[in-house]
Homo-oligomer: A and B are copies of this chain.
């Protein structure tokens, strides 16, 4: 690859979340030239700081004689972000470029377009960023009729049909697990990493059977640590099974007898796949980054 090819980006794909910023300068044929990672997430920035955070990262791709388009999804479009990109409302296809909001930018060498998130009024729910992954999954599997699970701090289950987002539900599961393992009394009992599949699966089944006892099952990890020297990796696997088992059972009507796609990184996607496996469901796992890029490319086609 010549230096020329390296620095001539046709456009830039961007995923600007709460805690991270990812940029992919793209060739004209929608091939990423590289990936730029930054920790300047929305949560670290004041409104006037977004442009200043972005420009140094893109400097090699900027030129005074043309305007570089940046197409961005994620929390940068929230009320606390660069500029609010109003939500589309379900049922709807994943938002396209036509619905993007132009971010105010002093530097005339670039034009930043932020894609809207999606809201659902009843029951109330919101997403920002995941709608672009849905667009990507649908670009890669246009006939998909089923549910897409997007695991994360706030895991989303999105029902799709005929290219549209029908409805979705968000679970605080990932954040709950982080709080329990880092800030609760269980921090003494849970290993920081490690995962035992058989224990995890048994714990999924256990919590599906006795969901109300959730907070008791959690405390039992502490008590077994004190009285029975419970192995911390086993404790972590159980805690993880309890939170995920609850969630997949709650979504039963969405995944039963339907296609299930999980969009996520290996470890977390694998845990959700294993949890669904306890219920006889074989889910297809799609790579989160590939799907995000496919979604931004799909939106770009309508530019």
A interface vs B, CB < 8 Å?
Answer: 119, 121, 123-126, 154, 169-173, 175-176, 179-180, 183-186, 208, 210-216, 218-220, 223-224, 226-228, 243, 246-247, 249-250
Name which residue of chain B comes closest to A170, CB basis.
B219
- The answer to whether A170 and B223 touch across the interface, beta carbons within 8 angstroms, is yes
A119-B228 Cα distance, complex, nearest whole Å? 11
Report whether A226 and B185 are in contact in the complex, using a CB–CB cutoff of 8 Å.
no
Contact present for B184 and A224 (CB under 8 Å): no
A171 with B219: in contact, given A126-B227, A179-B180 (CB under 8 Å)? yes
Contact yes or no, A214 B216, CB < 8 A: no
**Contact between B185 and A175, CB atoms less than 8 A apart:** yes
28 A-B pairs in the complex with CB atoms less than 8 angstroms apart: A123-B220, A124-B224, A124-B226, A124-B227, A124-B228, A125-B219, A125-B220, A125-B223, A126-B227, A169-B216, A171-B215, A172-B185, A172-B218, A175-B185, A176-B180, A176-B184, A179-B179, A179-B180, A179-B183, A211-B211, A211-B214, A212-B249, A214-B214, A214-B246, A215-B246, A215-B247, A215-B250, A216-B247
**A154 touching B214, Cβ below 8 Å:** no
For residue A79, which residue of chain B has the nearest CB? Answer: B226
* Additional 5 contacts, C-beta under 8 A, given A119-B227, A179-B183, A212-B247: A126-B226, A170-B219, A172-B215, A175-B185, A176-B215
Cβ-closest chain B residue relative to A153:
B185
Residues on B with C-beta less than 8 A from A176 are: 180, 184, 215, 218
Contacts of A173 in B (CB 8 A): 215
